[in-house]
Amino acid sequence: MAMEKLFSRIDRLAGGGKAGILVPSAGLELPKTKRAFTWIAWLLVIELALGFGAVVYAFVIARAGEPVPFAVWMRTVVVLCMTATLFYFFWRATKGFYWGYQRLRLFTQIFPVITLVMAAIPGLYPVWMITEQIVFSLVMIGVGDFLTGDHMREVFRKPES
């Protein structure tokens, strides 16, 4: 009960006025929806592993005496935390919360653009970080592809006002 109260507060904060809107459960039970959510879950796990791996690698090379620029530390920690929040959006979407789907879809469309633009700034990141960002973006585009497909948009139709 206490946890649900906490989740309700987080939902109101993250979902705003649409926090309580649920999509019809029939769409969530469809095999195609479950398959899409399974793929999305695995892709998010890959994203989290990439983010965690980047943090670990930065620590390893820093301990070896190689300088790790502040931009690398910021990027690794911030993106790891932001990727972790995607799991909350994902979890709420699987429960039928319209806002969870919307936030997840929004972030999976914005993250790759920002990440690729940042990777393109000359000298900002080392080659290993640029490579990680490109892979991160490709996986995130895959998540977004599932979310913007016709089926998922139908299941998470915009609610009537």
Per-10-residue mean pLDDT of the chain, 161 residues long, equals 73 72 91 97 96 94 94 90 91 92 94 92 93 94 95 90 56
Task: Write out the E strands in 68-150.
Answer: none
Question: What is the pLDDT at residue 161?
Answer: 56
Phi, psi of 30 (to 5 degrees): -65, 140
**CA geometry: angle at 145 spanning 139 and 151, to 5°?**
145
| Count of other CB atoms within 10 angstroms of residue 79 | 22
Distance CA 135, CA 120 (A): 14
Distance CA 146, CA 161 (A): 26
Question: What is the pLDDT at residue 1?
Answer: 67
DSSP, residue by residue, 23-48: --HHHHTSHHHHHHHHHHHHHHHHHH
Q: Note the pTM of the prediction, 2 decimals.
A: 0.88
Comparing C-alpha atoms, which of 151, 46, 155 is closest to residue 95?
Answer: 155
Q: Which residues, 6+ apart, have CB-to-CB distance to 37 below 8 Å? A: 90, 93, 94
**CA geometry: angle at 24 spanning 86 and 109, to 5°?**
30
Q: Which residues, 6+ apart, have CB-to-CB distance to 12 below 8 Å? A: 19
Question: What is the pLDDT at residue 158?
Answer: 84
